[in-house]
Amino acid sequence: MEANANHLPNGEAAAVLDSPTNPMVTPLLTDLYQYTMAYAYWKGGKHNDRAVFDLYFRRNPFGGEYTIFAGLEECIKFIANFKMNEGEISFIRQSLSGSCEDGFFDYLRELDCSEVEAYAIPEGSVVFPKVPLMRIEGPVAVVQLLETPLLNLVNFASLVATNAARHRFVAGKSKMLLEFGLRRAQGPDGAITASKYCYIGGFDATSNVAAGRLFGIPLRGTHSHAFVSSFMSPDEIIEKSLKSADGSTNCEDFVSLVQTWLNKIKAVQWSKSSNGDTNHSELTAFTSYALAFPDNFLALVDTYDVMRSGIPNFCAVALALNDLGYKAGGIRLDSGDLAYLSSEARKFFQSIEKEFCIPGFGKTNITASNDLNEETLDALNKQGHEVDSYGIGTYLVTCYSQAALGCVFKLVEINGEPRIKLSEDVSKVSIPCKKRSYRLYGKEGYPLVDIMTGENEPIPKVGERILCRHPFNESKRAFVVPQKVDDLLKCYWPGTSGKPRVELPSLNETRERCINQLEQMRPDHMRRLNPTPYKVSVSAKLYDFIHFLWLNEAPVGELQ
């Protein structure tokens, strides 16, 4: 059992939790059929039948062998605040058939999740196919209404957190990862959701100001090409003075100081490879930006030509700032051959450090940001590069290489009777019964296998041999002697069960859990190329029951 599960005193289930981040997440954010079913259940007197549903996915995304579970906090906030107002009820009335009875709308008016129990794997955990991420129990009609919003809140959150973790894996721990996806994301909270869950998945900061405010995620940003091209000539700069960092002196004409440095750089650096003129608009823009942010001067250097204009212009401004005691923040490359340009920029910085004796200048931060993804990061690593930070947008936040995760929500028990959903495709057959799930660890500390058991089976014990069976392949089975056992499902919303409720962790705690869990995994599960599948199993007893129920429910054909 995990030690850090933070239990609240009994009876705090009804404690007030904030609403979901997006005010559009209401009981109407669901499929119409959830309401038609709710009516049919109610009409048949079946709405309070006690149902158990599992929320799980069938396949890891991005060709990998792991997934990060995310979105739980929003789900629990949604459950905690589930209540329909009159406007919503009246819209449901007008959307259903005119023949629906009034009593149903009285029922909706009183509906909340006080009788629902929600169990889940902690957010930020590494998770695997078929193992329930959440188990929701309660009156069948209300749990059905929750299906679509819970899936919506978990599917993309988990997908994009996993994508972020994969980008972190390729980039390496030492790099700064910035999420820059707002403009290309799938709608406003496609963006805000991405910012939140990329942070959980291991990113360091975002450009999205709204996400920074909502979640306390660190913000990063410099300027754009438009800023550079909006300047025409140095004459545009009217206020040219700049105080030194320590306030002791005042440079009356910072523009001239920059020009002086540019001339020095020209003299020693690139007289042979160019006619020597850098772009004036760019130099003016950099100077102007430095006057506004002398203590945080960052420059986008590819508006005209990186090596012939952007880098020397940046260095001129950075060296002028250095004269006044300021340290420049660095450059951003947004186009071209990033491996080559970052290496050339590094050489340039190093030669400036040497030529003008500016200690540390060679280490000036280089950020790259041109349509990056896992593959381009991997290619950069193979080519060799000098990039310190990556700004990643489109491919990260839209999960371009696989834009959806297929979480499903399946009925596994009703009124104590196990239920199964059959399919001609074995991978789509559901695992019936109200279940428990455990993660079993081996001698080396790595997780070995997840195992699902019936609710009332004994808990696997450390040091005791247990048979783990593949749920659908008769021949795949193995004995395991766990060195550690984690009970995966925690109670986040106890309903009227009287069970203690686990408190929702902070965003940073969830992020740390994610990073720690990823580090705990055996490396062969994590590699990009041909990763080893992690094993997911059921107990011998559950295996037998699945196959008994399957035969029982499937009609028998006759070959002709």
Q: Where in 466-485 is the site for a copy of itself (CB under 8 A)?
A: none
Site for a copy of itself, residues 390 to 419, rule: CB under 8 A: 394-395, 398-400, 402-407, 409-411, 414, 417, 419
- Compute the least distance from the CB of residue 104 to a copy of itself, in Å: 9
The radius of gyration computed from the CA coordinates of the chain, to the nearest angstrom, equals: 29
* CA dihedral (547, 548, 551, 554) positive or negative: negative
The binding track of 416-455 with respect to a copy of itself, each residue x by CB under 8 A or -, is -x-xxxxxxx--x---------------------------
**How far is it, in rounded angstroms, from Cα 276 to Cα 559?**
85
Residue 492: its H or E element: strand 490-493
Looking at the Cβ atoms of 20 and 494, the one nearer to a copy of itself is 20
Residue 269: its H or E element: none
| CB within 8 Å of 91: residues ≥ 6 apart | 28
- State the maximum Cα–Cα separation within the chain, in Å, rounded to a whole number: 98
- Compute the least distance from the CB of residue 499 to a copy of itself, in Å: 25
Q: Which of 146, 192, 257, 316 binds a copy of itself (CB under 8 A)?
A: 192
Site for a copy of itself, residues 286 to 305, rule: CB under 8 A: 288-289, 291-296, 303-305
The answer to whether 297 and 317 are in contact (CB under 8 A) is yes
| CA distances from residue 183 to 190, 208, 220 in whole angstroms, order as listed | 10, 9, 15
**How far is it, in rounded angstroms, from Cα 372 to Cα 333?**
12
- The β-bridge partners of 389 are 176, 367
Looking at the Cβ atoms of 301 and 466, the one nearer to a copy of itself is 301
- Compute the least distance from the CB of residue 6 to a copy of itself, in Å: 28
- Compute the least distance from the CB of residue 441 to a copy of itself, in Å: 33
**How far is it, in rounded angstroms, from Cα 413 to Cα 542?**
14
Q: Which of 77, 135, 167, 220 binds a copy of itself (CB under 8 A)?
A: 220
The binding track of 266-285 with respect to a copy of itself, each residue x by CB under 8 A or -, is ------xxxx-xxx-x----
Contact between 176 and a copy of itself per CB under 8 A? no
Looking at the Cβ atoms of 8 and 40, the one nearer to a copy of itself is 40
Q: Which stretch binds a copy of itself (CB under 8 A): 226-234, 465-473, 477-485, 496-504?
A: 226-234
Looking at the Cβ atoms of 220 and 435, the one nearer to a copy of itself is 220
Q: Which stretch binds a copy of itself (CB under 8 A): 31-39, 123-131, 447-455, 488-496?
A: 31-39
Contact between 49 and a copy of itself per CB under 8 A? yes
Site for a copy of itself, residues 74 to 133, rule: CB under 8 A: 88, 91-92, 95, 97, 99-100
Within 10 angstroms of residue 233's Cβ, the number of other Cβ atoms is 10
**# residues near a copy of itself by CB under 8 A:** 136
The answer to whether 320 and 269 are in contact (CB under 8 A) is no
Contact between 315 and a copy of itself per CB under 8 A? no
Q: Which of 17, 237, 251, 481 binds a copy of itself (CB under 8 A)?
A: 237
Contact between 309 and a copy of itself per CB under 8 A? yes
Nearest 5 degrees, angle CA 486-CA 490-CA 492? 160
- Compute the least distance from the CB of residue 93 to a copy of itself, in Å: 12
DSSP 308: I
Looking at the Cβ atoms of 446 and 550, the one nearer to a copy of itself is 550
- Compute the least distance from the CB of residue 522 to a copy of itself, in Å: 30
| CB within 8 Å of 293: residues ≥ 6 apart | none
DSSP 8: P
**How far is it, in rounded angstroms, from Cα 151 to Cα 143?**
12
Contact between 225 and a copy of itself per CB under 8 A? yes
Tokens read off for 430: 């559901």
The binding track of 136-155 with respect to a copy of itself, each residue x by CB under 8 A or -, is ----x---x--xxx-xxx-x
Q: Which stretch binds a copy of itself (CB under 8 A): 234-242, 435-443, 448-456, 466-474?
A: 234-242
**How far is it, in rounded angstroms, from Cα 168 to Cα 202?**
6
Site for a copy of itself, residues 323 to 382, rule: CB under 8 A: 335-336
Q: Which stretch binds a copy of itself (CB under 8 A): 45-53, 129-137, 463-471, 477-485?
A: 45-53
| CA distances from residue 503 to 13, 76, 200, 218 in whole angstroms, order as listed | 10, 10, 18, 24
Looking at the Cβ atoms of 362 and 406, the one nearer to a copy of itself is 406
Looking at the Cβ atoms of 160 and 448, the one nearer to a copy of itself is 160
Looking at the Cβ atoms of 61 and 494, the one nearer to a copy of itself is 61
Within 10 angstroms of residue 361's Cβ, the number of other Cβ atoms is 22
According to the 3-state scheme, what is the secondary structure of 75-142? HHHHHHCCCCCHHHHHHHHHHCCCCCCHHHHHHHHHCCCCCCEEEECCCCCEECCCCCCEEEEEEHHH
Looking at the Cβ atoms of 304 and 356, the one nearer to a copy of itself is 304
- Compute the least distance from the CB of residue 43 to a copy of itself, in Å: 4
**How far is it, in rounded angstroms, from Cα 184 to Cα 442?**
43
